Structure 1
Amino acid sequence: MKIFVASKNEHKVHEIKLLVPKFVELELIKTELDVEETGETFIENSIIKAIEYGKDVVQPVVADDSGLCIDVLGGFPGVMSARYMEGASYTEKMESILQLMKNYEERTARFVCVATYFNPINNFLISVEGYVEGSISREIRGTQGFGYDPIFIPNGYEMTFGELGEAVKDKISHRSRAFKKLFELLIKVGELKEES
């Protein structure tokens, strides 16, 4: 079975590919469509992307919306994580966040991911949330992963996702948790079936 990934972020697609059941072929969506994320929550944006891209390709798609939520900053950058300081590099974005937090001892945060599957053929839609709790480091550490990984220390570890690397991230990340749960549910309800 083929499912398209409604994302132009190759890092994201690579992470999702590691989580799909073996009988599912995952393909990066190729379309001129550029869906605007107008939702105020991760779930709204995830559903918007899944439905719009699904209707465009008329095939099952998975989409996600994810971001970093920092408690002391009121959940910022949250749904604006990718669009914060648009045009700036992630190093610049992380430096800006560390600057905003320089006077705070309280550094709890979480990565949140809402994964959505939409099949336009039978109009089947399902969304699940995954998250990982942690804290914000005092400096940028590590070069692995992408986005805000080098400033996020997951609970139970002393290193950032940028230092821990793919093997740990695949087990405990917000995206890993959301997509594992999503594919399990899709198999359970019979939407995904291994072809005999």
Structure 2
Amino acid sequence: MPFYEIFIISVALAMDAFTIAVACGLCMPEVSKRQNFRLSFHFGLFQALMPLLGWLAGLTVKSMVETYAPWISFFLLAFVGGKMIQESFETDDSCDTYKDPTKGLSLVFLSVATSLDALAVGLSFSIMDYPIAFPCVMIGITALVLTSFGLWLGKSFAKASSYSHIAERIGGVVLILIGLKLLLQ
């Protein structure tokens, strides 16, 4: 898979993390360097590990689904992309009660929730016989950078929350288009 496709997938997968980071930045009274590091590091780590887990899971079922691999990849990516688009239309007034999202179970739950789509991508990579090491690194670094940027953006611009929905929609459309490309190859 060419570098630019892996990069596009990485950015698309990071849109959930970016969106959550923007929302956190909007809701947090202050964003310290430590909070930024914790959220960015954990989102990046989970985004990097989930494709690996999906890829490993794909190895176990690969022989059963090789014939249908392009279709399975398409449906997985289309599902994840569609979910991202749907979620971008939901409103969230989570600033009403503040709890630091960079600590404890909140951090773990957010990290898992923002990286589940990467699990499906890893499964697709396995089924399509793509290597996983470089995509995992690229996905993790991209999520880390976009999470940090999202926190900064959310803190800096209170109006940025409307743009995060657009970014999530674009990410969803990109995943669907990549799924179509895999299907048509």
Question: Structure 2 length as normaliser, TM-score?
Answer: 0.30
More strand by share: 1
More helix by share: 2
